[in-house]
């Protein structure tokens, strides 16, 4: 892979080392032109764009066409992914569909304490709506396999722990869950574009994810949802919006789900943001996820080893021998101030309460030179206690 050529496809401000692509990916250079094109279509075509806009089939066909392009990166067959709405919404949708497939008498949704809170909150909200004895059971990440009992209806996990970076064995857990009669919902927020994912090979029932992290489609970019191909025509879509209807423009009074993955569509697609997503996906054409994964592990190990040698006060949040996603997390009671001091020097990572300093290593635009410079900055900040200044302690709304 020509990593330098890939890096050149992103806009990155001078003097910035961006180790936060796991939270909001940088802008691919192709995005402004793609958005300009769609703005032009909007002004010229007006409502005709739904039928005649770019991509051949018009704007209306984009969610599933772009879903297929995402599918290539997560091991999903064409026609099994569609996009739109936010990840929180997609979690709710997939979970509600999964619950509907649950075996008799099962009333437990199993998740883990490494899951991102919104996934757990959405499960709580769904349970409160159902009002018929469902419970959410949250166990430690390492205890999930042993918690796959006959009470469990649905296993809902995020593959990578957003705090520590711990990576679940998706294929292994999915196999055990399926053998125990449990429906699976995987959240790929920190996996799509970060490491190899094989949804089909794992036999996953449902998966969801966002496109503004490793896929670089921009703030508020649409989420995606995957349904195993042989389940699609039986799945109850839960969010039964008109664009998931079999014939939206028949304007029937009754809902009748569309064929295949189309039934997971909800409402009007976010066309401007889909244009940004399309340009962001162009960068991934020809990219081999195995090569991305290998290089991300090399960069992560280089950073972790450098920090271990030069910053003894920063404890790794995850032992190096435990499988991880594409991030390295460190712990320190003053983590927030340390991250602020780093940002002041142009090294952008982020902080996750209570004490995690988090750094993403995305080989599309980070190389050895950036890793080494980030270690130098971090070591200087720790050696000089440069984080201990009032301005670095003042908390902002988004950390």
Ligand X SMILES: *Cc1c(COP(=O)(O)O)cnc(C)c1O
Please say which residue, 87 or 108, places its beta carbon nearer to ligand X.
87
10, 116, 214, 387: residue in contact with ligand X (rule CB under 6 A)? 116
24, 66, 76, 87: residue in contact with ligand X (rule CB under 6 A)? 87
With binding defined as CB under 6 A, does residue 162 bind ligand X?
yes
72, 86, 203, 379: residue in contact with ligand X (rule CB under 6 A)? 86
Residues whose CB is less than 8 angstroms from the CB of residue 104 and which lie 6 or more positions away in sequence, other chains included = none
Least distance from ligand X to the Cβ atom of residue 88, Å = 3
Least distance from ligand X to the Cβ atom of residue 86, Å = 4
Residues in the interface with ligand X (CB under 6 A) total 13
- Which region among 81-89, 100-108, 140-148, 274-282 touches ligand X (by CB under 6 A)? 81-89
Please say which residue, 162 or 392, places its beta carbon nearer to ligand X.
162
Q: 233 near 212, Cβ under 8 Å?
A: no
Catalytic residue among 336, 352, 358, 392: 358
Please say which residue, 187 or 205, places its beta carbon nearer to ligand X.
187
With binding defined as CB under 6 A, does residue 112 bind ligand X?
no
| Nearest-5° Cα angle at 285, 280 to 286 | 150
Q: What is the pattern of x (binds ligand X, CB under 6 A) and - over residues 260-299?
A: ----------------------------------------
Residues whose CB is less than 8 angstroms from the CB of residue 186 and which lie 6 or more positions away in sequence, other chains included = 157, 158, 159, 170, 174, 199, 202, 204, 206, 207, 208
Least distance from ligand X to the Cβ atom of residue 246, Å = 28
Residue 249 annotated in active site? no
7, 29, 118, 308: residue in contact with ligand X (rule CB under 6 A)? 118
Least distance from ligand X to the Cβ atom of residue 242, Å = 22
Residue 213 annotated in active site? yes
Catalytic residue among 212, 224, 361, 365: 212
Least distance from ligand X to the Cβ atom of residue 164, Å = 13
Residue 312, φ and ψ in degrees, nearest 5? -60, -20
Token digits for 97? 């569909």
Least distance from ligand X to the Cβ atom of residue 95, Å = 12
With binding defined as CB under 6 A, does residue 119 bind ligand X?
yes
80, 158, 211, 362: residue in contact with ligand X (rule CB under 6 A)? 158
Token digits for 80? 């099994």
| Nearest-5° Cα angle at 236, 235 to 239 | 130
Least distance from ligand X to the Cβ atom of residue 189, Å = 3
Please say which residue, 103 or 125, places its beta carbon nearer to ligand X.
125
Residue 18 annotated in active site? no
Burial of 367 from C-beta contacts in 10 A (0-12 / 13-18 / 19+): middle
Catalytic residue among 69, 90, 163, 213: 213
Please say which residue, 223 or 307, places its beta carbon nearer to ligand X.
223
Residue 212 annotated in active site? yes
Q: What is the pattern of x (binds ligand X, CB under 6 A) and - over residues 198-237?
A: ------------x------------x--------------
37, 88, 138, 151: residue in contact with ligand X (rule CB under 6 A)? 88
Tell me which residue of 142, 117, 26, 91 sits closest to 352, measured CA to CA: 117
Residue 358 annotated in active site? yes
Angle at which helices 31-45 and 271-284 cross, to 10°: 140
Provide the annotated active-site residues: 116, 187, 212-213, 358
**Contact residues: ligand X, CB under 6 A:** 86-88, 116, 118-119, 158, 162, 187, 189-190, 210, 223
């Amino acid at each position: 892979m020509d990593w330098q050529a890939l890096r050149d496809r992103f806009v990155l401000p001078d003097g910035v080392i961006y180790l936060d692509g796991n939270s909001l990916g940088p802008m691919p250079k192709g995005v402004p032109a793609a958005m300009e094109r769609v703005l032009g279509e909007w002004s010229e075509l007006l409502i005709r764009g739904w039928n005649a806009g770019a991509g051949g089939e018009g704007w209306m066909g984009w969610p599933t066409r772009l879903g297929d392009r995402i599918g290539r990166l997560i091991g999903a067959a064409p026609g099994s992914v569609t996009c739109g709405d936010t990840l929180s919404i997609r979690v709710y949708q997939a979970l509600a569909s999964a619950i509907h497939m649950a075996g008799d008498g099962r009333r437990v949704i199993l998740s883990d304490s490494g899951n991102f809170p919104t996934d757990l909150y959405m499960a709580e909200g769904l349970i409160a709506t159902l009002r018929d004895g469902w419970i959410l059971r949250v166990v430690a990440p390492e205890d999930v396999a042993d918690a796959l009992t006959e009470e469990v209806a649905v296993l809902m996990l995020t593959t990578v722990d957003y705090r520590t970076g711990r990576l679940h064995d998706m294929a292994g857990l999915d196999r055990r869950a399926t053998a125990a009669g449990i429906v699976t919902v995987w959240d790929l927020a920190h996996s799509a574009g970060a490491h190899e994912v094989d949804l089909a090979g794992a036999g996953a029932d449902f998966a969801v994810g966002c496109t503004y992290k490793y896929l670089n489609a921009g703030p508020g970019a649409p989420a995606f949802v995957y349904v195993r191909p042989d389940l699609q025509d039986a799945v109850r879509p839960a969010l039964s919006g008109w664009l998931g209807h079999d014939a939206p423009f028949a304007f029937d009074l009754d809902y009748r789900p569309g064929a295949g993955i189309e039934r997971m569509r909800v409402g009007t697609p976010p066309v401007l943001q889909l244009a940004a997503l399309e340009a962001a996906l162009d960068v991934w054409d020809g990219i081999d996820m195995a090569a991305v994964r290998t290089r991300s592990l090399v960069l992560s190990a280089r950073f972790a080893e450098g920090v271990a040698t030069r910053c003894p006060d920063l404890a790794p949040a995850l032992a190096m021998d435990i499988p991880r996603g594409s991030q390295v997390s460190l712990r320190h009671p003053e983590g927030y101030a340390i991250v602020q001091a780093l940002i002041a020097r142009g090294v952008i990572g982020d902080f996750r309460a209570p004490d995690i300093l988090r750094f993403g290593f995305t080989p599309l635009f980070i190389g050895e030179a950036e890793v080494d410079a980030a270690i130098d900055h971090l070591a200087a900040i720790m050696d000089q206690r440069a984080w201990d200044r009032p301005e670095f302690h003042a908390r902002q709304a988004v950390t």
